[in-house]
Amino acid sequence: MGRFGNLLLSAILCGCTYTLVAIGYCLFFGVLDVVVFCCGDIAIFGAFSIIGAFTIIWSAGIFQAVPAIVAVLILLVVASILCAALGLITYRVSVKPFEKSSALMPLLSTIALGVVIKEVLGLIFQPVVNNIAKGVVRVDDPKTVVGGRNPQSMPQLIAAGGSTLTRNLIIIIVVALILLALFFFLNKTKLGLSMQAISQNKELALMTGVNVKSCIRWTFIIGGVLLAIGGFLLGNYQTILRFDGGTMYGTKGFAAAVVGGLKSTWGAVIGGMLLGFVEVFTAGLIPGGTKFQNVIAFIVVIIFIVFKPEGIIGEKVAEKV
Amino acid sequence: MALLETKDISINFGGLWAVKDVDFTVEANKIVGLIGPNGSGKTTFLNIISGIYGSFKGTSGEVYLDGEQIRGLKPYEVYKKGMSRTYQSSRLCWEQSVADNLLVGCYTHQDYSLFDSIFRPKMVNNKIYDELDRALDLLSTFNPSLVDRRYDLAKNIPHIDRRRIEITRALLSNPKLLLLDEPTAGLNDEETMTMMDEIRMVKEKMKGSAVIIIEHDMQVMEKVPDSIVVFNAGEKIAEGTYQEIINDQDVIDAYIGGGDEDE
């Protein structure tokens, strides 16, 4: 694969990771009209919970006895359950108490919860994982994650011993499958249709027999699972994970969601990909571009906000923001 | 037995009584009008009986629908007990078609599993098509041309037709009690007259059911309801026929404001 091909693949991978967190923002904003700003932190929590589960289960010798795909599924299930629980906690602690308040209250509250999540992650993982320097975990270095005999890192595991290219293709396929499943869920199932009804008109949903509270709870559960998968993919795409990485990851996910259209799932996909492409191509094509790839990416975001505030395929939400 | 009966219904927001000790009765096959000055508690009253305030602590009293206590239930539970409503302003999904807006009211009482969602057996699709046919059939009684516009986006539909879509959607659940909150708001005189006829037609279609209608337009109040209840400052101050109400001194003082009986 040539240089351009590599850049293209990296851009898609980067876009995939932003897409999932952007969809999290879209789902939460859709049913509540508030920005749940700790999405990035929930995703990073998912990534670290996978590292923790990986370490524990590897130490117990279970992973050595099962095929790689089973190991990956076990990790995903663990992370999904934990992130779904964290999603529910986010709703109960940081969103529900402010249902009648200004949208600024849950925004501030979820920012605060994000700080709590990253600090707790730091406290838990500092003593567990070896060789952590300044809060950084090298996910691709087996010794830092599991140690022991025949250590295997997450990226090695997900590719089942295959190449980096295989691993990357798996990530893209996983995201594509998730998007298909999400599209199907939102458009074909009763719960998905109810969530769309709430998103478009809450009073309408209330008086057409939709159990709004239950739908909101399910949205946080489903959003939590998506963010867990996002964290898992981020951990595999990046070679390092930071405890405080959720802030930047979440900000980029939010930016992607806004650029795409805050209530549009497909807008989140487009926004996420756009951000991924701008970032990767800035870093790859401009000499020294890695130093200011974020600057360029956010300048693009600002340009979009100025000229198309409702998002690429979104509805106008300026009054709500 | 009354279809709807409320006893001492009250709601207090931080010391302010929005509705206070209201006893209200609606018999089957009747249309009851609800009038009162702005802020008199009409919509709040509808919100209480339709479950919008659910288990809000400031609410007290009892609400019986067909003999069953429903106060404290959530809106979707009240809906399942047989109460539907429309709002003052249109509650449509603007970017969805007329048909989709009608079907929102159908999905919730359809009983199909995740398996059915995934594989969509013919039986499930048939159920949805049957619901759509029923919805369009009902809609055509208001305005037959709307059936041809069923795939038009709701935002492109005239205001009176939006009202018709909302009422049709509310009727699709075969409610025992239909609450109409200012159904003629935003309509011109001619459209208001048409809507009045249609509300009477709705009543004829809903055998054994009843309608509560909030309106400011006294033309509507004269011609549509069988009886009228008047609210002022959260309290019920009068109840009776149109003629009784417009001659009631309390109503004149509170609502009409100086005896302009034609207003």
| Model pLDDT, residue B31 | 92
Same domain, B48 and B99: no
User: Last residue of some domain: B162, B197, B222?
Assistant: B162
Q: Considering only the beta carbons, identify the residue of B75, B93, B107 that sits closest to A207.
A: B75
Residues of chain B in contact with residue A210, where contact means CB-CB under 8 angstroms, are 76, 108
| Model pLDDT, residue A148 | 40
| Model pLDDT, residue B108 | 67
Same domain, B126 and B203: no
A187 touches chain B (CB under 8 A): no
Classify residue B182: in a domain, yes or no: yes
Q: Considering only the beta carbons, identify the residue of A184, A190, A206 that sits closest to B75.
A: A206
Same domain, B189 and B251: yes
Distance CA B56, CA B71 (A): 10
Same domain, B76 and B190: yes
| Model pLDDT, residue A127 | 53
User: Last residue of some domain: B112, B138, B162?
Assistant: B162
Residues of chain A in contact with residue B94, where contact means CB-CB under 8 angstroms, are 200
Cα of B91 to nearest chain A Cα, Å: 6
A193 touches chain B (CB under 8 A): yes
The interface predicted TM-score (ipTM) is: 0.73
B111 touches chain A (CB under 8 A): no
Residues of chain A in contact with residue B107, where contact means CB-CB under 8 angstroms, are 190, 193-194
Q: Is the model's pLDDT at A132 over the cut of 60?
A: no
Same domain, B141 and B180: no
Classify residue B253: in a domain, yes or no: yes
Phi/psi at A105 (5° precision): -65, -55
Q: Which tops the pLDDT comparison, A206 or A219?
A: A219
Cβ of B84 and A201 within 8 Å?
A: no
Same domain, B153 and B219: no
Cβ of B105 and A208 within 8 Å?
A: yes
Query: Which are the contacts of B160, defined by CB distance < 8 A and separation ≥ 6?
Result: B187, B191, B194, B195
Per the structure, the complete domain to which residue B70 belongs is given by 1-82+174-263
Token pair listed for A318: 């300026």
| Model pLDDT, residue A321 | 36
Sheet order of strands, B210-214 included: B83-85, B177-181, B210-214, B31-35, B227-232, B235-240
Q: Please give the tally of structural domains in chain B.
A: 2
Nearest to B181, CA basis, from B93, B83, B247, B55? B83
| Model pLDDT, residue A131 | 39
Classify residue B116: in a domain, yes or no: yes
| Model pLDDT, residue A146 | 44
| Model pLDDT, residue B255 | 65
Classify residue B136: in a domain, yes or no: yes
Token pair listed for B39: 């802020």
| Model pLDDT, residue B251 | 84
Classify residue B129: in a domain, yes or no: yes
User: CATH number, domain at B192?
Assistant: 3.40.50.300
Q: Is the model's pLDDT at A239 over the cut of 50?
A: yes
Cβ of B117 and A189 within 8 Å?
A: yes
B85 touches chain A (CB under 8 A): yes
Cβ of B169 and A210 within 8 Å?
A: no
Q: Minimum mean pLDDT among A90-104, A153-167, B52-66, B156-170: which range? A: A153-167
Same domain, B157 and B202: no
Cα of A104 to nearest chain B Cα, Å: 22
Same domain, B153 and B30: no
Q: Considering only the beta carbons, identify the residue of B85, B95, B114 that sits closest to A189.
A: B114
End-to-end CA distance of chain A: 44
Tell me which chain B residue has its CA closest to the CA of residue A204. B91
Exposure letters B158-184 (e unless 16+ CB within 10 A, then b)? eebbbbbbbbbbbbbbebbbbbbbbbb
Classify residue B141: in a domain, yes or no: yes
Classify residue B114: in a domain, yes or no: yes
User: Last residue of some domain: B162, B182, B203?
Assistant: B162
Residues of chain B in contact with residue A206, where contact means CB-CB under 8 angstroms, are 52, 75-76
Residue range A270-300, pLDDT digits in tens: 999 999 999 999 998 888 888 888 898 899 9
Residues 198-227 of A with CB under 8 A from B: 200-201, 203-213
Q: Which tops the pLDDT comparison, A131 or B51?
A: B51
B87 touches chain A (CB under 8 A): yes
Classify residue B133: in a domain, yes or no: yes
C-alpha distances out from residue B87 to A204, A313, B209, Å: 9, 29, 19
Q: Which residues of chain B have pLDDT under 70?
A: 105, 107-110, 255-263
Q: Report the pLDDT averaged over residues A4-13.
A: 88
Tell me which chain B residue has its CA closest to the CA of residue A200. B93
Cβ of B85 and A207 within 8 Å?
A: yes
C-alpha distances out from residue A129 to A52, A137, A215, B193, B202, Å: 8, 8, 38, 76, 70
Token pair listed for A298: 């956010």
Question: Are the beta carbons of A10 and A259 closer than 8 angstroms?
Answer: no
Token pair listed for A91: 């709703």
Q: Is the model's pLDDT at A133 over the cut of 80?
A: no
Q: Is the model's pLDDT at A168 over the cut of 90?
A: no
B108 touches chain A (CB under 8 A): yes
Distance CA A184, CA A25 (A): 19
B43: number of Cβ within 10 Å:
20
Residues 278-317 of A with CB under 8 A from B: 315
